[in-house]
Amino acid sequence: MPRFPIQMPQLGESMAEATVREILISPGDEVKADQNIFEVETDKAMMEVTTPCSGKITEIGAKIGTSYAVGSHLAFIEATEEDAIKAGLIKPASSGDTESENNEEEAEANLHFKIDEKDMIDPTAPLAVQPTVRDGLPVPVRSTVYLSPRMRHRMEELGLNSADLAGLPGSGAGGRVTVEDFEKFISEIEQNRTTEASPMRIAVADSMRRSWTRPLATVTVPIVLDEVLAHRKSLEAKPGVTLYAMRALAIAISENTAVAGRLIGNRIVHPNSIDIGFAVEVADGVLVPVIREVDRKSLGDLQSPYNDLVKRSQERKLPPESTGAGIATVTNVGPFGITAATPIPLPEQNLVLGLMAGRHMPIWDKESATFVPRMESKFILSFDHRILDGGAAGRLLQRVGELLQDPAEL
C-alpha cells in the first residue's frame, strides 16, 4: 500500500509553526480518519493534529518539545488507494495522466533555471528545537533608529530586533549604538539569570511592537453601572459586566462602522461583521477569543458562548473559528483593582475598550438636588488616531454608556 506524510497543518490564520506537546500514537498503530494523533501548542492555543484518512502509522518523525513549521512532515501513514483517494491524497488514475506527465517534463526542460535536489528545502526539518525570538516573530519590526548593516546582521544572527535595544545608550555619533556597545550589552546579559520566554509571551511582545507603529490615543469616560448591576442581579444566569460592554460596544459600532475601520492607503475599510474579542488571562499571557456578529445577538444569546470560550481559553484549547481577528477588543481589568490604564489595540484592530474597577462615587441627582452614591467605572478607549479624533472617540464611549443605562434592551 502507498505511504503518505502527515504534515503540520495550518491551524490558524497567523500560524507559522507549532510545538509538539504530546504524541498520541505509536508506529504500527491502526488509525481511523480524523483521529487525534498529536497535541500541539501554537502561540494562541493547544490544538490537535488529526489523520487524513484511515490506515497504519509506519513512522513518527516528530519529537515532543520540538517546533515544526506548517507543512513539515510529522509522521507517515500507510493507506489503501481507495482511502487515499477519498481523502484527496492522490487523484484517480485517468487516460490524461500520461499526457500531463509529458507536458510537465517538457515544461521543466524549458526552464531557464533548475534547482538541484541538494538546494531544495527539506520540509521535514524542524524550524527550531525550542521556540526562540528569532523563529517566533513572523513580522519583524524596524525602528527609526539608525543601525548599521553590520549591526543589523549581528542582531539577526542572535534573533534580536531594534526594540530589544530600548534603553541601551550608544557611544557613537549622535548617540548611535555601535557594534562595540552591542557586544558589551550582550556580554552583560550573559552574566544575569535568564529564563526562556514562552511562545505566547513572544507572540504578545511581537503584537504590541506592531501595534505601537501607529499613532495611538486614549480617552476616558466615567460610566454609572447601577442599572447594569440591578439587571444582572435579576437574571438567573448572571452575565459579567464585560459581556454587557461587548454588546453595547457592538451596537454602537454598528451605527457607524467607520469607527472600527482600518486605514489602508487613502481609504477607510469598513468591517463586514461586528466581531468582538475579549481578553482572558492565562498562564504567561492573554488570549483574545472572538465572538462573531455580536451586534446581531442578544445578551442572552451571548452568555453561553462567552462562558464556553472563557473555559476553553483557560485550557488553551480555543476552536480555530474563535481565534481569528475581530474588529475590537474588550478587556476588564477591574477585578485586579485597576482604576486607570492605557490598553493597546491589537495590530489588526483600531479599538480596545478597557473596563476599570468600579467605585461608589457621589453623583449629583437633579430631582433630589443632592449627591447620591452610585457605582461608577471609568471606561477607557484606546484607538488609532489616524481613524478617530478625540471627539469621535468620546461620542462612541458616551453612546456605550447610554446603551448600558437600559440593559434590558441589550
- Per-residue confidence (pLDDT) for residue 107, from 0 to 100: 44
Write down the architecture of domain 215-409 according to CATH: 2-Layer Sandwich (3.30)
DSSP 262: E
Residue 200's pLDDT band, with cuts at 50, 70 and 90, is: confident
Q: Give the three cell numbers for residue 126.
A: 524542524
Residue 132 has pLDDT above 70, yes or no: no
pTM score of the predicted model:
0.67
Residue 371's pLDDT band, with cuts at 50, 70 and 90, is: very high
Full DSSP string of 238-291: ---HHHHHHHHHHHHHHT-GGGG-EEETTEEE--SS--EEE-EEETTEEE--EE
* Nearest alpha-carbon partner for 216 in 327, 328, 344: 344
Residue 178's pLDDT band, with cuts at 50, 70 and 90, is: confident
Map out the domains of the chain as residue ranges: 3-119, 133-200, 215-409
- Per-residue confidence (pLDDT) for residue 142, from 0 to 100: 36
* Nearest alpha-carbon partner for 352 in 207, 163, 239: 207
d(CA 297, CA 243): 12
User: How long is the chain?
Assistant: 410
Any bridge partners for residue 281, and if so which?
A: 286
The CATH classification number of 3-119 equals: 2.40.50.100
Residue 139's pLDDT band, with cuts at 50, 70 and 90, is: very low
Q: Which residue do the cell numbers 526562540 mark?
A: 132
Higher per-residue pLDDT: 212 or 248: 248
d(CA 346, CA 46): 21
Residue 121 has pLDDT above 90, yes or no: no
Task: Give me the chain's average pLDDT, please.
Answer: 84
Higher per-residue pLDDT: 130 or 102: 102
Q: Which of 50-54, 107-111, 178-182, 228-232 has the lowest mean pLDDT?
A: 107-111
- Per-residue confidence (pLDDT) for residue 316, from 0 to 100: 86
Find how far residue 349's CA is from the centre of its chain: 11
Full DSSP string of 171-212: -SGGGPPPHHHHHHHHHHHHTS---PPPHHHHHHHHHHHHHT
Q: Are 320 and 290 in contact (CB under 8 A)?
A: no
Average pLDDT (57-74) is 91
Angle at 331 between CA 208 and CA 305, to 5 degrees: 115
Distances (CA, A) of 217 to 222, 253, 269, 275, 343: 17, 18, 20, 22, 10
Q: Which residue do the cell numbers 473559528 mark?
A: 321
Residue 264 has pLDDT above 80, yes or no: yes
Higher per-residue pLDDT: 255 or 116: 255
